[in-house]
Structure 1
Protein backbone atom coordinates (compact mmCIF):
# COMPACT_ATOMS: atom_id res chain seq x y z
CA UNK A 1 0.00 0.00 0.00
CA UNK A 2 1.27 3.45 -0.95
CA UNK A 3 0.62 6.47 1.25
CA UNK A 4 0.66 9.78 -0.57
CA UNK A 5 0.34 13.28 0.87
CA UNK A 6 -0.44 16.25 -1.35
CA UNK A 7 0.39 19.69 0.04
CA UNK A 8 -1.36 22.62 -1.59
CA UNK A 9 -1.28 26.37 -1.13
CA UNK A 10 -4.87 27.34 -0.30
CA UNK A 11 -6.57 30.42 -1.75
CA UNK A 12 -3.45 30.93 -3.85
CA UNK A 13 -5.05 33.00 -6.61
CA UNK A 14 -6.70 35.62 -4.37
CA UNK A 15 -3.57 35.81 -2.21
CA UNK A 16 -1.30 36.57 -5.17
CA UNK A 17 -3.48 39.55 -6.12
CA UNK A 18 -2.69 41.18 -2.79
CA UNK A 19 0.96 41.43 -3.86
CA UNK A 20 0.30 43.83 -6.74
CA UNK A 21 1.40 43.47 -10.35
CA UNK A 22 5.14 43.37 -9.68
CA UNK A 23 4.85 40.00 -7.96
CA UNK A 24 6.17 37.27 -10.21
CA UNK A 25 9.72 37.25 -8.84
CA UNK A 26 8.33 37.06 -5.30
CA UNK A 27 6.08 34.14 -6.20
CA UNK A 28 8.97 32.22 -7.77
CA UNK A 29 11.11 32.77 -4.68
CA UNK A 30 8.23 31.71 -2.41
CA UNK A 31 7.54 28.52 -4.34
CA UNK A 32 11.21 27.53 -4.38
CA UNK A 33 11.60 28.26 -0.67
CA UNK A 34 8.43 26.36 0.21
CA UNK A 35 9.53 23.30 -1.75
CA UNK A 36 12.95 23.39 -0.09
CA UNK A 37 11.43 23.47 3.39
CA UNK A 38 8.86 20.75 2.65
CA UNK A 39 11.55 18.50 1.18
CA UNK A 40 13.73 19.10 4.23
CA UNK A 41 11.01 18.41 6.82
CA UNK A 42 9.74 15.26 5.12
CA UNK A 43 13.12 13.81 4.13
CA UNK A 44 14.14 13.99 7.80
CA UNK A 45 11.34 11.47 8.32
CA UNK A 46 12.45 9.20 5.44
CA UNK A 47 9.89 10.57 3.00
CA UNK A 48 10.45 12.11 -0.43
CA UNK A 49 8.72 15.12 -2.01
CA UNK A 50 8.07 15.83 -5.69
CA UNK A 51 7.08 19.26 -7.06
CA UNK A 52 3.83 19.33 -9.03
CA UNK A 53 2.68 22.54 -10.73
CA UNK A 54 4.70 24.55 -8.17
CA UNK A 55 1.71 25.40 -5.95
CA UNK A 56 1.25 21.72 -5.12
CA UNK A 57 3.72 19.12 -3.84
CA UNK A 58 3.39 15.32 -3.75
CA UNK A 59 5.11 13.41 -0.93
CA UNK A 60 5.50 9.66 -0.44
CA UNK A 61 4.68 9.38 3.28
CA UNK A 62 4.65 5.65 4.02
CA UNK A 63 5.15 5.20 7.77
CA UNK A 64 3.98 8.70 8.75
CA UNK A 65 1.02 9.19 11.09
CA UNK A 66 -1.44 12.08 11.26
CA UNK A 67 0.49 13.37 14.28
CA UNK A 68 3.66 13.45 12.19
CA UNK A 69 1.84 15.55 9.60
CA UNK A 70 0.59 17.91 12.31
CA UNK A 71 4.15 18.48 13.53
CA UNK A 72 5.31 19.30 10.01
CA UNK A 73 2.34 21.61 9.47
CA UNK A 74 3.25 23.47 12.65
CA UNK A 75 6.83 23.91 11.46
CA UNK A 76 5.66 25.24 8.10
CA UNK A 77 3.30 27.70 9.79
CA UNK A 78 6.28 29.27 11.56
CA UNK A 79 7.98 30.05 8.26
CA UNK A 80 5.19 30.91 5.83
CA UNK A 81 2.35 33.39 6.17
CA UNK A 82 -0.03 31.61 3.84
CA UNK A 83 -2.51 28.77 4.04
CA UNK A 84 -1.36 25.22 3.38
CA UNK A 85 -3.51 22.10 3.29
CA UNK A 86 -2.32 18.51 3.55
CA UNK A 87 -4.39 15.70 2.10
CA UNK A 88 -3.39 12.10 2.79
CA UNK A 89 -4.45 9.11 0.71
CA UNK A 90 -3.61 5.43 0.69
CA UNK A 91 -4.04 2.93 -2.11
CA UNK A 92 -2.83 -0.31 -3.60
CA UNK A 93 -1.25 1.78 -6.36
CA UNK A 94 0.16 5.32 -6.44
CA UNK A 95 -2.65 6.40 -8.75
CA UNK A 96 -5.29 5.00 -6.40
CA UNK A 97 -3.66 6.84 -3.48
CA UNK A 98 -3.81 10.01 -5.57
CA UNK A 99 -7.53 9.45 -6.24
CA UNK A 100 -8.21 8.95 -2.52
CA UNK A 101 -6.38 12.18 -1.74
CA UNK A 102 -8.59 13.99 -4.23
CA UNK A 103 -11.74 12.34 -2.88
CA UNK A 104 -10.97 13.39 0.69
CA UNK A 105 -10.07 16.93 -0.30
CA UNK A 106 -13.14 17.50 -2.46
CA UNK A 107 -15.43 15.96 0.16
CA UNK A 108 -13.71 17.92 2.96
CA UNK A 109 -13.14 14.75 5.01
CA UNK A 110 -10.78 15.91 7.74
CA UNK A 111 -8.25 14.03 9.84
CA UNK A 112 -7.38 17.19 11.77
CA UNK A 113 -9.50 20.28 11.17
CA UNK A 114 -7.33 22.63 13.24
CA UNK A 115 -4.30 22.00 11.04
CA UNK A 116 -6.11 21.70 7.71
CA UNK A 117 -5.31 18.02 7.18
CA UNK A 118 -7.69 15.99 5.03
CA UNK A 119 -7.95 12.27 4.38
CA UNK A 120 -9.79 9.03 4.94
CA UNK A 121 -8.93 7.10 8.14
CA UNK A 122 -5.41 5.72 7.76
CA UNK A 123 -4.67 2.01 7.82
CA UNK A 124 -1.41 0.92 9.44
CA UNK A 125 -0.50 -1.70 6.88
CA UNK A 126 3.21 -2.09 6.19
CA UNK A 127 4.07 -2.26 2.53
CA UNK A 128 6.91 -1.54 0.14
CA UNK A 129 7.45 1.48 -2.09
CA UNK A 130 8.88 1.01 -5.57
CA UNK A 131 10.63 3.92 -7.28
CA UNK A 132 12.08 3.97 -10.77
CA UNK A 133 14.90 6.44 -11.46
CA UNK A 134 15.62 7.12 -15.14
CA UNK A 135 18.11 9.31 -16.93
CA UNK A 136 19.06 9.79 -20.55
CA UNK A 137 22.00 7.67 -21.68
CA UNK A 138 24.57 9.81 -23.49
CA UNK A 139 22.84 13.12 -22.79
CA UNK A 140 26.11 14.98 -23.46
CA UNK A 141 26.09 13.93 -27.11
CA UNK A 142 22.46 15.05 -27.43
CA UNK A 143 23.19 18.47 -25.94
CA UNK A 144 26.12 18.93 -28.34
CA UNK A 145 23.70 19.06 -31.28
CA UNK A 146 20.90 21.16 -29.79
CA UNK A 147 20.53 24.59 -28.24
CA UNK A 148 19.61 24.83 -24.53
CA UNK A 149 15.95 25.53 -25.26
CA UNK A 150 15.70 22.73 -27.83
CA UNK A 151 17.06 20.35 -25.20
CA UNK A 152 14.40 21.54 -22.72
CA UNK A 153 11.69 21.06 -25.33
CA UNK A 154 12.88 17.50 -25.99
CA UNK A 155 13.08 16.64 -22.28
CA UNK A 156 9.53 17.93 -21.70
CA UNK A 157 8.30 15.87 -24.64
CA UNK A 158 9.93 12.76 -23.17
CA UNK A 159 8.38 13.56 -19.79
CA UNK A 160 4.92 13.92 -21.33
CA UNK A 161 5.19 10.53 -23.03
CA UNK A 162 6.60 8.95 -19.88
CA UNK A 163 3.77 10.37 -17.78
CA UNK A 164 1.10 9.03 -20.13
CA UNK A 165 2.73 5.59 -20.44
CA UNK A 166 3.03 5.02 -16.71
CA UNK A 167 -0.25 6.69 -15.72
CA UNK A 168 -2.27 4.00 -17.50
CA UNK A 169 -0.20 1.56 -15.42
CA UNK A 170 -1.32 3.30 -12.22
CA UNK A 171 2.06 4.95 -11.63
CA UNK A 172 3.07 8.61 -11.24
CA UNK A 173 6.06 10.12 -13.07
CA UNK A 174 7.92 13.29 -12.05
CA UNK A 175 10.62 15.37 -13.76
CA UNK A 176 13.49 16.12 -11.38
CA UNK A 177 15.54 18.47 -13.52
CA UNK A 178 18.39 17.93 -15.97
CA UNK A 179 17.65 14.61 -17.66
CA UNK A 180 16.40 12.85 -14.52
CA UNK A 181 12.97 11.40 -13.85
CA UNK A 182 11.46 9.40 -11.01
CA UNK A 183 8.37 7.24 -11.16
CA UNK A 184 6.39 6.15 -8.11
CA UNK A 185 5.46 2.81 -9.55
CA UNK A 186 2.91 0.11 -9.06
CA UNK A 187 5.02 -3.06 -9.01
CA UNK A 188 5.91 -2.64 -12.67
CA UNK A 189 8.20 -5.43 -13.82
CA UNK A 190 11.26 -5.14 -16.04
CA UNK A 191 9.26 -6.30 -19.05
CA UNK A 192 6.91 -3.32 -18.71
CA UNK A 193 9.79 -0.89 -18.31
CA UNK A 194 11.61 -2.40 -21.29
CA UNK A 195 8.51 -1.75 -23.39
CA UNK A 196 8.73 1.96 -22.55
CA UNK A 197 12.49 2.12 -23.19
CA UNK A 198 12.06 0.46 -26.59
CA UNK A 199 9.21 2.82 -27.47
CA UNK A 200 11.28 5.93 -26.73
CA UNK A 201 14.28 4.61 -28.62
CA UNK A 202 12.16 3.81 -31.67
CA UNK A 203 10.39 7.18 -31.69
CA UNK A 204 13.23 9.50 -30.67
CA UNK A 205 16.47 7.55 -31.02
CA UNK A 206 17.12 8.11 -27.30
CA UNK A 207 18.09 5.51 -24.72
CA UNK A 208 17.30 5.65 -21.02
CA UNK A 209 19.13 4.04 -18.13
CA UNK A 210 16.81 2.77 -15.43
CA UNK A 211 17.43 2.02 -11.76
CA UNK A 212 14.72 0.45 -9.61
CA UNK A 213 14.57 0.60 -5.82
CA UNK A 214 12.12 -1.07 -3.47
CA UNK A 215 11.96 -0.33 0.27
CA UNK A 216 9.61 0.53 3.14
CA UNK A 217 9.94 4.31 2.75
CA UNK A 218 10.07 6.72 -0.17
CA UNK A 219 13.51 8.06 0.65
CA UNK A 220 15.05 4.60 1.01
CA UNK A 221 13.43 3.40 -2.24
CA UNK A 222 14.80 6.46 -4.07
CA UNK A 223 18.25 5.81 -2.59
CA UNK A 224 18.25 2.24 -3.90
CA UNK A 225 16.94 3.33 -7.31
CA UNK A 226 19.73 5.89 -7.62
CA UNK A 227 22.28 3.34 -6.41
CA UNK A 228 21.09 1.00 -9.17
CA UNK A 229 21.47 3.81 -11.72
CA UNK A 230 24.98 4.58 -10.47
CA UNK A 231 25.88 0.89 -10.86
CA UNK A 232 24.71 0.94 -14.48
CA UNK A 233 27.04 3.89 -15.14
CA UNK A 234 29.93 2.08 -13.44
CA UNK A 235 29.39 -1.00 -15.60
CA UNK A 236 29.23 1.17 -18.72
CA UNK A 237 32.43 3.05 -17.87
CA UNK A 238 34.31 -0.15 -17.00
CA UNK A 239 33.54 -1.68 -20.38
CA UNK A 240 31.48 -4.47 -18.83
CA UNK A 241 28.41 -5.72 -20.67
CA UNK A 242 25.91 -2.89 -20.52
CA UNK A 243 22.63 -3.10 -18.65
CA UNK A 244 19.68 -0.80 -19.19
CA UNK A 245 17.74 -1.84 -16.09
CA UNK A 246 19.03 -2.74 -12.64
CA UNK A 247 17.02 -3.36 -9.47
CA UNK A 248 17.85 -3.27 -5.76
CA UNK A 249 15.51 -4.21 -2.92
CA UNK A 250 15.90 -3.40 0.76
Structure 2
Protein backbone atom coordinates (compact mmCIF):
# COMPACT_ATOMS: atom_id res chain seq x y z
CA UNK A 1 0.00 0.00 0.00
CA UNK A 2 1.22 3.48 -0.79
CA UNK A 3 1.26 6.33 1.73
CA UNK A 4 2.01 9.47 -0.23
CA UNK A 5 2.81 12.75 1.52
CA UNK A 6 2.09 15.75 -0.70
CA UNK A 7 2.74 19.40 0.00
CA UNK A 8 0.89 22.17 -1.81
CA UNK A 9 3.15 25.20 -2.21
CA UNK A 10 1.09 28.33 -2.79
CA UNK A 11 2.51 31.82 -3.28
CA UNK A 12 0.68 34.21 -0.96
CA UNK A 13 -1.40 36.98 -2.55
CA UNK A 14 0.47 36.52 -5.82
CA UNK A 15 -2.15 37.76 -8.29
CA UNK A 16 -2.63 41.17 -6.63
CA UNK A 17 1.13 41.49 -6.07
CA UNK A 18 1.84 41.16 -9.80
CA UNK A 19 -0.22 44.29 -10.57
CA UNK A 20 0.64 46.40 -7.50
CA UNK A 21 1.34 49.30 -7.63
CA UNK A 22 1.14 48.68 -11.38
CA UNK A 23 1.49 45.65 -13.68
CA UNK A 24 4.99 44.19 -13.54
CA UNK A 25 7.07 43.22 -16.58
CA UNK A 26 6.12 39.73 -17.70
CA UNK A 27 9.69 38.50 -18.11
CA UNK A 28 10.52 39.71 -14.61
CA UNK A 29 7.65 37.59 -13.30
CA UNK A 30 8.71 34.59 -15.38
CA UNK A 31 12.27 34.93 -14.11
CA UNK A 32 11.17 35.06 -10.49
CA UNK A 33 8.84 32.07 -10.92
CA UNK A 34 11.61 30.05 -12.55
CA UNK A 35 14.11 30.90 -9.81
CA UNK A 36 11.59 30.11 -7.11
CA UNK A 37 10.87 26.73 -8.65
CA UNK A 38 14.60 26.03 -8.96
CA UNK A 39 15.15 26.89 -5.29
CA UNK A 40 12.24 24.69 -4.24
CA UNK A 41 13.58 21.85 -6.38
CA UNK A 42 17.02 22.26 -4.82
CA UNK A 43 15.71 22.35 -1.24
CA UNK A 44 13.19 19.52 -1.59
CA UNK A 45 15.39 17.46 -3.91
CA UNK A 46 18.25 17.60 -1.39
CA UNK A 47 15.85 15.89 1.03
CA UNK A 48 14.91 13.20 -1.53
CA UNK A 49 11.59 14.78 -2.52
CA UNK A 50 10.16 15.86 -5.86
CA UNK A 51 8.47 19.13 -6.76
CA UNK A 52 6.40 19.94 -9.86
CA UNK A 53 5.65 23.46 -11.09
CA UNK A 54 1.99 23.00 -12.21
CA UNK A 55 0.88 26.68 -12.54
CA UNK A 56 4.02 28.14 -10.89
CA UNK A 57 1.99 30.22 -8.39
CA UNK A 58 0.90 26.80 -7.12
CA UNK A 59 3.37 23.91 -7.01
CA UNK A 60 2.99 20.32 -5.82
CA UNK A 61 5.72 18.45 -3.96
CA UNK A 62 6.12 14.82 -2.93
CA UNK A 63 7.62 15.29 0.52
CA UNK A 64 7.81 11.86 2.19
CA UNK A 65 10.68 12.20 4.67
CA UNK A 66 10.32 15.95 5.20
CA UNK A 67 9.01 16.89 8.66
CA UNK A 68 7.44 20.06 10.01
CA UNK A 69 10.81 21.68 10.69
CA UNK A 70 11.88 21.12 7.08
CA UNK A 71 8.71 22.82 5.86
CA UNK A 72 9.16 25.77 8.22
CA UNK A 73 12.80 26.16 7.15
CA UNK A 74 11.71 26.21 3.51
CA UNK A 75 9.25 29.02 4.23
CA UNK A 76 11.89 30.99 6.11
CA UNK A 77 14.41 30.58 3.31
CA UNK A 78 11.94 31.78 0.65
CA UNK A 79 10.71 34.65 2.81
CA UNK A 80 14.27 35.90 3.32
CA UNK A 81 15.19 35.91 -0.37
CA UNK A 82 12.03 36.72 -2.33
CA UNK A 83 9.53 39.61 -2.41
CA UNK A 84 6.76 37.03 -1.90
CA UNK A 85 6.05 34.39 0.75
CA UNK A 86 4.65 30.88 0.43
CA UNK A 87 2.05 28.96 2.38
CA UNK A 88 2.27 25.18 2.69
CA UNK A 89 -0.45 22.59 3.12
CA UNK A 90 0.47 18.96 3.86
CA UNK A 91 -1.69 15.93 3.15
CA UNK A 92 -1.13 12.18 3.41
CA UNK A 93 -3.15 9.40 1.80
CA UNK A 94 -2.86 6.12 -0.06
CA UNK A 95 -4.22 7.92 -3.12
CA UNK A 96 -2.13 10.92 -4.22
CA UNK A 97 -5.10 12.96 -5.44
CA UNK A 98 -6.79 12.59 -2.06
CA UNK A 99 -3.58 13.62 -0.28
CA UNK A 100 -3.50 16.76 -2.42
CA UNK A 101 -7.15 17.46 -1.65
CA UNK A 102 -6.37 17.31 2.08
CA UNK A 103 -3.38 19.64 1.62
CA UNK A 104 -5.49 22.08 -0.40
CA UNK A 105 -8.36 22.12 2.08
CA UNK A 106 -5.98 22.99 4.91
CA UNK A 107 -4.89 26.15 3.13
CA UNK A 108 -8.39 27.04 1.96
CA UNK A 109 -9.64 26.85 5.55
CA UNK A 110 -7.39 29.73 6.62
CA UNK A 111 -8.00 32.13 3.75
CA UNK A 112 -7.99 32.71 0.04
CA UNK A 113 -4.84 32.51 -2.06
CA UNK A 114 -5.40 36.24 -2.67
CA UNK A 115 -6.04 37.14 0.96
CA UNK A 116 -3.62 39.94 1.79
CA UNK A 117 -3.55 38.93 5.48
CA UNK A 118 -2.62 35.28 4.86
CA UNK A 119 1.14 34.85 5.11
CA UNK A 120 3.36 31.77 5.48
CA UNK A 121 0.64 29.43 6.69
CA UNK A 122 1.86 25.92 7.50
CA UNK A 123 -0.93 23.39 8.01
CA UNK A 124 -1.06 19.60 8.09
CA UNK A 125 0.78 16.78 9.84
CA UNK A 126 3.66 15.02 8.08
CA UNK A 127 3.83 11.24 8.02
CA UNK A 128 5.57 10.09 11.20
CA UNK A 129 8.68 7.92 11.00
CA UNK A 130 6.99 4.97 12.70
CA UNK A 131 4.34 4.87 9.98
CA UNK A 132 6.75 5.03 7.05
CA UNK A 133 7.49 1.96 4.89
CA UNK A 134 9.80 1.03 2.04
CA UNK A 135 7.02 1.32 -0.55
CA UNK A 136 5.16 4.47 0.53
CA UNK A 137 5.77 6.25 -2.78
CA UNK A 138 5.06 4.81 -6.22
CA UNK A 139 6.39 6.73 -9.22
CA UNK A 140 5.56 5.94 -12.85
CA UNK A 141 7.90 7.47 -15.43
CA UNK A 142 6.19 7.66 -18.84
CA UNK A 143 8.12 8.28 -22.04
CA UNK A 144 6.93 8.82 -25.62
CA UNK A 145 8.10 6.13 -28.04
CA UNK A 146 10.60 7.54 -30.55
CA UNK A 147 9.63 11.16 -29.94
CA UNK A 148 12.76 12.35 -31.73
CA UNK A 149 12.12 10.31 -34.86
CA UNK A 150 8.37 10.95 -34.99
CA UNK A 151 8.21 14.57 -33.87
CA UNK A 152 11.47 16.43 -33.16
CA UNK A 153 13.18 15.48 -36.43
CA UNK A 154 10.01 15.67 -38.54
CA UNK A 155 7.95 18.65 -37.32
CA UNK A 156 8.64 22.21 -36.31
CA UNK A 157 9.07 22.67 -32.58
CA UNK A 158 5.60 24.03 -31.90
CA UNK A 159 3.84 21.18 -33.67
CA UNK A 160 6.11 18.71 -31.83
CA UNK A 161 5.12 20.43 -28.59
CA UNK A 162 1.43 20.06 -29.45
CA UNK A 163 1.82 16.31 -29.99
CA UNK A 164 3.69 15.80 -26.73
CA UNK A 165 1.24 17.98 -24.79
CA UNK A 166 -1.72 16.04 -26.18
CA UNK A 167 -0.16 12.85 -24.88
CA UNK A 168 0.49 14.48 -21.51
CA UNK A 169 -3.08 15.78 -21.25
CA UNK A 170 -4.48 12.34 -22.03
CA UNK A 171 -2.27 10.64 -19.43
CA UNK A 172 -2.97 13.31 -16.84
CA UNK A 173 -6.75 13.10 -17.16
CA UNK A 174 -6.94 9.30 -17.42
CA UNK A 175 -4.66 8.60 -14.45
CA UNK A 176 -6.48 11.17 -12.31
CA UNK A 177 -9.97 9.98 -13.14
CA UNK A 178 -9.28 6.24 -13.08
CA UNK A 179 -6.71 5.92 -10.30
CA UNK A 180 -6.42 9.18 -8.31
CA UNK A 181 -2.86 9.47 -9.60
CA UNK A 182 -1.22 12.82 -10.33
CA UNK A 183 0.82 13.18 -13.53
CA UNK A 184 3.23 16.00 -14.35
CA UNK A 185 5.09 17.00 -17.52
CA UNK A 186 8.79 17.29 -16.69
CA UNK A 187 10.26 18.32 -20.02
CA UNK A 188 11.25 16.72 -23.32
CA UNK A 189 8.83 13.84 -23.78
CA UNK A 190 8.74 12.75 -20.14
CA UNK A 191 5.81 12.52 -17.74
CA UNK A 192 6.12 11.55 -14.09
CA UNK A 193 3.06 10.25 -12.27
CA UNK A 194 2.67 9.81 -8.51
CA UNK A 195 0.44 6.77 -8.16
CA UNK A 196 -1.21 4.35 -5.79
CA UNK A 197 -0.18 0.71 -6.20
CA UNK A 198 -1.38 -0.36 -9.67
CA UNK A 199 -1.22 -3.55 -11.70
CA UNK A 200 0.60 -4.06 -14.98
CA UNK A 201 -2.80 -4.39 -16.64
CA UNK A 202 -3.85 -0.98 -15.35
CA UNK A 203 -0.72 0.62 -16.80
CA UNK A 204 -1.26 -1.17 -20.13
CA UNK A 205 -4.83 0.13 -20.15
CA UNK A 206 -3.63 3.70 -19.55
CA UNK A 207 -1.14 3.46 -22.40
CA UNK A 208 -3.75 1.96 -24.72
CA UNK A 209 -6.18 4.77 -23.86
CA UNK A 210 -3.64 7.45 -24.76
CA UNK A 211 -2.78 5.82 -28.08
CA UNK A 212 -6.44 5.38 -28.99
CA UNK A 213 -7.49 8.89 -27.97
CA UNK A 214 -4.60 11.04 -29.25
CA UNK A 215 -2.33 8.69 -31.22
CA UNK A 216 0.68 9.04 -28.90
CA UNK A 217 2.51 5.81 -28.02
CA UNK A 218 4.00 5.51 -24.54
CA UNK A 219 6.04 3.19 -22.37
CA UNK A 220 6.41 3.35 -18.60
CA UNK A 221 8.79 2.32 -15.86
CA UNK A 222 7.41 2.01 -12.34
CA UNK A 223 9.34 2.27 -9.09
CA UNK A 224 8.57 2.25 -5.37
CA UNK A 225 10.46 3.57 -2.39
CA UNK A 226 10.33 5.27 0.96
CA UNK A 227 10.66 8.65 -0.75
CA UNK A 228 10.24 10.18 -4.19
CA UNK A 229 13.91 9.97 -5.12
CA UNK A 230 14.18 6.25 -4.41
CA UNK A 231 10.91 5.49 -6.20
CA UNK A 232 11.74 7.74 -9.13
CA UNK A 233 15.23 6.30 -9.56
CA UNK A 234 13.81 2.78 -9.62
CA UNK A 235 11.27 3.96 -12.21
CA UNK A 236 14.06 5.39 -14.37
CA UNK A 237 15.91 2.07 -14.35
CA UNK A 238 12.70 0.23 -15.20
CA UNK A 239 12.15 2.60 -18.11
CA UNK A 240 15.63 1.78 -19.39
CA UNK A 241 14.59 -1.88 -19.44
CA UNK A 242 11.63 -0.88 -21.62
CA UNK A 243 13.96 0.89 -24.03
CA UNK A 244 16.44 -1.98 -24.14
CA UNK A 245 13.92 -4.82 -24.44
CA UNK A 246 11.24 -3.05 -26.44
CA UNK A 247 8.62 -3.61 -23.73
CA UNK A 248 5.82 -1.28 -22.71
CA UNK A 249 5.52 -1.66 -18.92
CA UNK A 250 8.31 -2.60 -16.50
CA UNK A 251 8.50 -2.56 -12.70
CA UNK A 252 11.72 -1.70 -10.92
CA UNK A 253 13.15 -3.19 -7.75
CA UNK A 254 10.78 -2.85 -4.81
CA UNK A 255 7.79 -2.09 -7.03
CA UNK A 256 5.79 -5.29 -7.12
CA UNK A 257 2.77 -4.77 -9.37
CA UNK A 258 -0.57 -4.88 -7.63
CA UNK A 259 -2.84 -7.75 -8.53
CA UNK A 260 -5.19 -6.99 -11.40
CA UNK A 261 -8.76 -6.38 -10.29
CA UNK A 262 -11.18 -9.11 -11.30
CA UNK A 263 -14.38 -8.26 -13.13
TM-score, reference length from structure 1: 0.90
How far, CA to CA, are the matches of 2:119 and 2:212 in structure 1?
A: 52
- 2:106 is matched with 104
Q: Is the 8 A contact 2:6 2:61 kept in 1?
A: yes
Moved more, 143-152 or 88-97: 143-152
Number of equivalences:
240
Alignment of 1:152-231 (within 5 A): 152-168=161-177, 169-231=179-241
From the superposition, tell whether residues 89 and 37 of structure 1 become closer, same or farther in structure 2 (CA, over 3 Å).
same
- 1:239 is matched with none
How far, CA to CA, are the matches of 1:201 and 1:170 in structure 2?
A: 20
Kindly state the Cα deviation for residue 202 of structure 1 after the two structures are TM-superposed: 3.0
Q: Is the 8 A contact 1:49 1:57 kept in 2?
A: yes
How far, CA to CA, are the matches of 1:117 and 1:229 in structure 2?
A: 36
Kindly state the Cα deviation for residue 206 of structure 1 after the two structures are TM-superposed: 3.0
From the superposition, tell whether residues 123 and 129 of structure 1 become closer, same or farther in structure 2 (CA, over 3 Å).
closer
TM-score, reference length from structure 2: 0.86
How far, CA to CA, are the matches of 2:176 and 2:103 in structure 1?
A: 16
Q: CA RMSD in A?
A: 1.9
Structure 1: tracts of 5 or more residues without a match: 236-241
Kindly state the Cα deviation for residue 116 of structure 1 after the two structures are TM-superposed: 2.0
- 2:253 is matched with 249
Alignment of 1:52-67 (within 5 A): 52-67=54-69
Q: Is the 8 A contact 1:51 1:57 kept in 2?
A: yes
- 2:122 is matched with 117
Q: Is the 8 A contact 1:7 1:57 kept in 2?
A: yes
For residues 157-195 of structure 1, the C-alpha deviation after alignment (integer angstroms, 9 at most, x for no partner) is 111111111012110010111110000001121101101
Structure 2: tracts of 5 or more residues without a match: 112-117, 255-263
Q: Which has the higher strand share?
A: 1
Moved more, 205-214 or 162-171: 205-214
